[in-house]
Structure formats: structure tokens, C-alpha cells
Amino acid sequence: MLNFKTISIVSCIALLGLIICNSSWIFMVLVVVIWFVITGLGSGLIGWNYHLKSVLSNAETSKNAVSITFDDGPNTEFTPKVLSLLNQFNAKATFFCIGKQAKNYPGILKQIIAEGHTIGNHTFSHANNFGFFSTKKVISELKKTNAVIEEITGLKMKFYRPAFGVTNPNIAKAVKVLGLTSVGWNVRSLDTTSRSAESVLNRITKCLKAGDIILLHDTSEKSLIVLEQLLLFLQKKNLASVTVDALCDLQPYE
């Protein structure tokens, strides 16, 4: 498996060898470019486990179940409707909450917990430039979110989902320092793009199997449409929707 440490070591050795052999600068530039391309892709594709290992699915599960996860909530416009649909189908899910959203809507957060779902840390600000934060700032964001949610619910969260799925050495170090479990996905719905609800649903269901972790967002009407149709699909396929901790046998809280 490709990872940041291995690729960096191999690239340095290659560069050193080229320098010792007095090779053309073109080959040296090529090595650097390849390093940047691989590292750029690895930083943006959480499924590579390039900078840190994330829980992506449970292919070995004996459970006839998948895990639906929601990012970027809670909010008063869509999260209650998501909870209503989940309740209607007796489904459980995992909500990766933004700290400032949880602080603004504590009642919704409490409802998520009361109805048997799991929550995780999705940073405090979900800033567009989060991938450029220093380790100290990442730690501050994650600690702040955990503190806010512990104050509201009494729960000390262990799950963390990287904002935008972006990882890097600073984020990896912060996760290690705080002892968090990074949770990714292996089925990305792309429900926040311009794709139609039908297209998003087809993307999710075309190869869906037991053990998969699905990424959705409780932030739009389109995602609600997709969720309802997905729950109907799971019902027909006799697949349950359970929390990530139940699917992967993990502890979500300290």
C-alpha cells in the first residue's frame, strides 16, 4: 500500500542516486513531480490511507448490514427530516458533526443520540483551508469540537472524519496525539455535487454490499430524496443500516 513515508523515502533515494550518477536534471525534476502527484492524490483520497489509516469498511463482516454516515450537520432544516426517515425504516446511522453546528443546535444533537445513532468529530469550523492548518491548529479544532459535544451530551467522542476527506502529516499527527479513530468511507455518494438524485442513488447502489460505509450529507433536499430511496433499496435487499461502531466492532466513545 502506498503511504507518505514510503513514497518520500523512495523519492529521496532516487534523487540521491541520480545526483551521485550525475544524471540529467530532467530525471530529478521527474522524480519530484511524481512525488507531488502521488502525495497530492494521497492527501485527497482518504481510501488510499496515505497519511493515516482510516476505517473505510468492514469487508469481513458477518452482518448483513451497511453503515450510512452523514457529514456537516447538525442543522434544523434537514437533520430532523433525516432522523424521521431513519426512524421510519428502523435504521441507524453515524453523524459526523461540525463543532460550531453542534454548538448552535444542541437540541438536534441530543435527538441524534436519543434515537440511537452515533456521533463523531468533523472539525469545529470545517474551514475550506483546513488542509493547510498547522498541527497545533488541527488539535485545537478537534479538541474544541470534542469539548462542545461533551458539554452537550456527556460523551467523549473517539471518531473523527477529516473535512473534505483531506489528510496530511499535520492531521495525522493531531489524530495520533488525541487518540482518535479516523473514519472514512468506501462508497462516496457525491450528493453535494450537481448530479441528480437518481444519479447519486445509482452511484451508491450499483455495487453496494454488506460491510460498506456510505458517505452522505444531512444538508440538502436532494440528499433526503436519495436517503429515502436508499432505505427502500436496503429494505428490498434485506440489508440493515447500522452505526459504524456496530458494523466495525469499534468503540465510538471513551
Catalytically active residues are 71, 217
For the chain, the C-alpha Rg in angstroms (whole number) is 20
Nearest to 172 by CA among 88, 69, 53: 53
Separation between Cα atoms, residue 235 and residue 82, nearest integer Å = 17
One-letter amino acid of 195 = R
Nearest to 166 by CA among 244, 245, 52: 52
Separation between Cα atoms, residue 243 and residue 240, nearest integer Å = 10
C-alpha cell at 148: 462542545
Orientation angle between helical segments 4-20 and 25-44, nearest 10 degrees? 180
Nearest to 123 by CA among 72, 80, 170, 158: 72
For 20, 24, 65, 199, 223, the CA distances from 212, given in Å and listed in that order, are 48, 47, 8, 19, 18
CB contact at 8 A, 2 and 42? yes
Backbone angles phi, psi at 96, to 5 degrees: -95, 105
CB contact at 8 A, 120 and 157? yes
Separation between Cα atoms, residue 41 and residue 176, nearest integer Å = 22
